[in-house]
Structure 1
Amino acid sequence: MGEQSPESARSLETAELTKAFGGVRALDAASVTFQPGRVNALIGPNGSGKTTFFNCVTGMIRPDSGQVSYRGRDLTGRAPHVVARAGLGRTFQLCRVFPRMSALDNVLVAARPGGLVAKLRGAHRRADVDRARSWLTRLGIEHLADVEARNMSWGQQKLLELAGVLMSDPETVLLDEPAGGVNPALLDRIGSLVRDLNAEGRTFVIVEHNMDLVMSISDHIVVFDRGRPIAEGPPSVIRSDERVLGAYLGV
């Protein structure tokens, strides 16, 4: 990627990232830089490559070519736990929680490497328990601490998954469709939480179809179409970009 500026050295970047499934290129030489310390959004029509991009960045799948860099470190093709330790946390479009564990235990599992083993052995540090409870409180689900995840609503499970991600203290958080299936009250809570956590220094990259949420909380938006970025900028610019309207509306 060449010599990096101080700002670039703190960024999540990709260069010429490419991934094909069969004969279809889900990512087509996608080069993107997300702004550190900001709320970034990644939007685009269905099938534009957004989730594939997240999966390549976070090590869920390996790109065919190209590079993923975070804070100047090459993370291309690294395993998910390596990516997480580098400071990247990620939620999923379909929540990944342990359905038969309580909310508190779900968050404790994410406390540190070996968290599930610690849970099975019944051994958790007091500091981890206190911190897990504080995240449940921060997300407004402390009253569900002893409730099994399977008995929580979809929106509450999304908050629980996010609490687990935050438990590992990532510098950058990637959210995959946080608004999907969430009622308006919880959606407002998620939006406020993102802005508050961003104000405290965390970077966000959000894949989302809810344009009201995207436009209200994002500082910088990248628009994908057919596996590569076609536009980027602040919400005020993206709203009126003809390329974006064409990608979404076919005009």
Structure 2
Amino acid sequence: MSSTPIKHSLETEKLTKSFGGVRAVDEATVSFQEGRINALIGPNGSGKTTFFNCVTGMIRPDSGTVTYRGRDVTGHAPHRIARAGLGRSFQLCRIFPRMTVLDNVLAGVRSAGVVHRLRGAHNPDDIARARELLARVGIEHLERSEARDISYGQQKLLELAGVLMAEPDTIMLDEPAGGVNPALIGRIATLVRELNAEGRTFIIVEHNMELVMSLSHHVVVFDRGRPIASGAPADMQNDPRVLEAYLGV
């Protein structure tokens, strides 16, 4: 009996980005499994966030290709990539600090123009959905608060709700547990598992190894701008290439 072939949501081929003489991403060829929780780990400075930025159009790669669900999206603008179904959060939350929590989520409406979104031109269905998402992430009681007045962990949840408002198929999270208390880390992990069970693919950059190993199905390890190993979390914990990258052993 043959096993079901693994589908890949996101693939890169020889993706490269240099800053001056430093190759932050160095001919990275990597695949992430569709319908799974993928982790992207590696030492500080290994190119993970730059890789995210190249994939999502925040910066243009020098060379190589990015393919999302069979479609070449290399160098496309961030809004085009988002419309293709690829959403992301950032290492440092990107929110509108002087807007309310509810309006921050409404800013993620895929079909609306940015000017209309920021002017508060929303239909009742969008408002109802935004409130549902706030309830889902557990901060519905804060909808009238300005985003700058809620805790950093709550801002992480708010950013995730805004990403979900655009209805992405794949969600890239850059250090979702960074600076967050253990209770909210647990809440984020539960949300990721629930959303994955509903069919969403995740690609998560994270330094919290306990979270990575308990949450992910597939782990890709970066070092010096390129993948050096990939596989099941348990295998990566004992892979000599990974130990060398992290510990120099």
Please classify the TM superposition score into its range, dividing by the shorter chain length.
over 0.9
Number of aligned residues: 246
2:158 matched residue in structure 1:
160
2:13 matched residue in structure 1:
15
Aligned with 2:195 (options 187, 194, 197): 197
Show structure 1 runs of 4+ deviating over 3 A: 5-8, 113-116, 119-122
Asked if 1:101 is matched to 2:119, the reply is no
State the distance in 1 between where 2:143 and 2:9 align. 35
Distance 1:122 1:61, change over 3 A: closer
Which amino acid in structure 1 is aligned with residue 221 of structure 2?
A: V
Structure 1 residues 43-122: aligned runs within 5 Å: 43-114=41-112, 116-122=114-120
Which amino acid in structure 1 is aligned with residue 186 of structure 2?
A: D
Which amino acid in structure 1 is aligned with residue 132 of structure 2?
A: S
1:179 matched residue in structure 2:
177
Instruction: Specify the SS of the correspondent of 1:170.
Output: coil
CA drift at 1:54: 0.1
State the distance in 2 between where 1:137 and 1:170 align. 19
2:227 matched residue in structure 1:
229
CA drift at 1:7: 4.8
CA drift at 1:111: 1.3
TM-score by length of 2: 0.96
Any idea what the Cα deviations from partners look like across 1:72-104, whole Å, max 9, x if unmatched?
A: 100000000010011000000010000011100
CA drift at 1:109: 1.0
Instruction: Specify the SS of the correspondent of 2:53.
Output: helix
2:138 matched residue in structure 1:
140
Which amino acid in structure 2 is aligned with residue 111 of structure 1?
A: V
Where structure 1 has 5 or more consecutive residues not aligned to the other structure, the ranges are none
Which amino acid in structure 2 is aligned with residue 29 of structure 1?
A: E
State the distance in 1 between where 2:39 and 2:119 align. 40
- Contact in 1 for aligned 2:9/2:201 (Cα 8 Å): no
CA drift at 1:6: 7.7
Where structure 2 has 5 or more consecutive residues not aligned to the other structure, the ranges are none
- Contact in 2 for aligned 1:68/1:74 (Cα 8 Å): yes
State the distance in 2 between where 1:34 and 1:71 align. 10
- Contact in 1 for aligned 2:83/2:110 (Cα 8 Å): no
State the distance in 2 between where 1:121 and 1:186 align. 31
Which amino acid in structure 1 is aligned with residue 95 of structure 2?
A: V
2:168 matched residue in structure 1:
170
State the distance in 1 between where 2:73 and 2:118 align. 31
State the distance in 1 between where 2:64 and 2:177 align. 30
